[in-house]
Structure 1
Amino acid sequence: MTDIGVWTGALGPLTNWPIVPGHETVGDVVELGPDVDNFDIDDRVGGLYHGGQDGACMTCQQGLPQGCHQKVANGVSKHGGCKPIAPPSHLASQNRNHRPRSLLTCRCRGRVRLRPSLPRPQTVAEYCILHTNAAVKIPKDVKPARVAPFLCAGVTVFNSVRHQNIMPGKTVAMHGIDGLGHLAIQYARKMGYRVVAISSGDSKLKLAIELGSHEYIDASRQDPVEALVKLGGAKMIICTAPDAKTIGQYVVALQWQGKLLILALKILPMCPCFPLTSLLVAPA
C-alpha cells in the first residue's frame, strides 16, 4: 500500500523524489560505516518503514522515535530496497532533472549497506542503505520472502495490539482480513483472545477459521454491528480498512471501556461520527 502511495503521489510531500521505494527490505551486510559496532559483514538484516530518527527531539526523548521531527522513512523519504521507479506523469515535470539510482554506494556513519537477498534481482535494488538504529537481525534459515511482510504489516499490528493492554480471554473483533488483518487475527489468537473476524463472503470464512478466528461474521449477509452485539460486543475492535460510516457504527458494539483500533492508511478525509450516548451504554 505504501509503495503504491509513493508511485501515485498519494503520500504527497512525504515522498522525496526521485526515489527507490521499498520498506520491507531483507539483505546481507556487505559494508559497515565507521561507527557500526552492532552488526558484522554478512549478517542478514531487515529494514522497516521506520528508517531512523535524530534521537534528540521531544518525541525521541519520550521514547517515541516513530514521531521524530526528523524521522526517515525507507522507500519514502530515502531510498528503499525495491526496483527504482520514475515519478508518475503528473509529478514528472517536478523532477525532470533527476533520475533514480539502483546502486547506492555512499558510506554513511551509523548505517549498513545491504545486498538484497530475494531471488529476483529485477524486483529489488542492488544495494540499499539502512540506519543501524532502524535495522533488525534476521536468521538466515528463514526465507526473506516469508519474513519481509513482518517488517511492516507484522510489526504494525503486533505492537498496536499488545500496547492496548487487553486482558487474555476478552473478545477482539477484526474488521477486514487483508494484509494487516490476516496477521492481526493470528496474533490475537496467540495472545489468548476470543477472536471474531468480520468480512464478506464464504471464501473469507474458511480463511478466518484457518487463521485462528473463533467466530466469523459475514457482513454481506447480516449487519456486522448487530451480529457483534449479539455475541456480547468486543473489548477491542480492529479496523484495517475503515471508513467514517463503519467506524461510527462499530462504536456501539464496544464493551464498556472498549477500544477501537484503527490500522489503515487513509488518504481521504476521515471523521468518525457516532452518538455520544453510545459511549455510555455498553452491549448487554
Structure 2
Amino acid sequence: MVSKPLSHLFIYMVLIILLSSCALFDTGHTTTPVDPEKQTGSETNNDNTQTSAEPPVSEYPTLEQSVWEVLSGTYFYNHGFVFEQEDGYQPVHAIGLGKYEIDAHPEDTIDVRTVEGALQLTIPKPEDYLHLTQAFLSPDREMIVLSVTTESQSTTYYLNPTEGLVSAIGEGDHIEHPTWAPDGHCIAFAYGTEQGETIAIYDLENSVITPLTEESFNNIVGVKWSEDGSFIDFVIKQEDNHYPYCMVRYELENEALDIQYALSNTEFADWIYIY
C-alpha cells in the first residue's frame, strides 16, 4: 500500500509531464499573425527560399530616371545630355524614335534611318553643331520635328521621311521646345525675338511662322499643345528655390494668356514627360 505523501508526489509528477507535453505541442504549431502593413515585400517559395517582390514601376519617367528609358517612345526630351556612369554627362548624338533612328555621328550629316537600317533622310549638319536636343513624332507617327543645338542657337527641323522632305523651320531663327498640334497640321514652339521669347505656330501647309502673342518671356523651358487642341501651355524658368517654374496658358479661341501656377522641379518633370 502506497503512503499518501508518495501518492501525492506521483500525481504531481504526472500532471507536470502532461502540462509540459501540451506546451511543447502548442509551441510547434502556433503561428504569429502577420501585419500586412509591416510586411517587407519578400515572398517565400515552396522550397522555403525568399525572393524580393518586384518594385513598383513609375508610370512616367522622372528627372532621376535615365533619359534612355524614353528614347524608344514617341518623343525625346532633355537638354541634349545624358548621364553615363563612367564618363559623367555626355552629349546626345543618336536618338531612337518609334520606327526611326536619328544618327548625328557622321562628320557632316544627320542621318534618319528606319530601325531596320534603311536610310530615309540626310540633313546637312550645321557648321557649329553641338548635339541633338529634342525630337517628337507626329500624332500619326510618320513625321518628326527635331531640334539641334549649335554654338549660337537652337535650330529646329520638320522631317517627313516617307516623302523625303527636310525643312528647317524659320531658318536662322532661334526655335526650340517644339510640340505637335493634335491634328498634326501645325507645330508650336518657343520663338526667339530681339525682346526675348514668345510662342509661335508653324503651319506645315504654307510653311509660315505666326507669333501668337506680342508679349515676350525669358527662358521658356517647355511647350505643350493640349490634347483637344484648344490651348498651348508653356513653362518659364523663374528665380525661386521652391517653385522654380511658372506655367502660362495661351487660349487659342480667345487669344488670351493666363498664368496658371508655379511648379516644383518634380512637378515640372512630371508635366514635361506626360506627352
Calculate the TM-score normalised by the size of structure 1. 0.26
Calculate the TM-score normalised by the size of structure 2. 0.26
More helix by share: 1
Where relative contact order (Cα < 8 A, 6+ residues apart) is larger, the structure is 1
More strand by share: 2
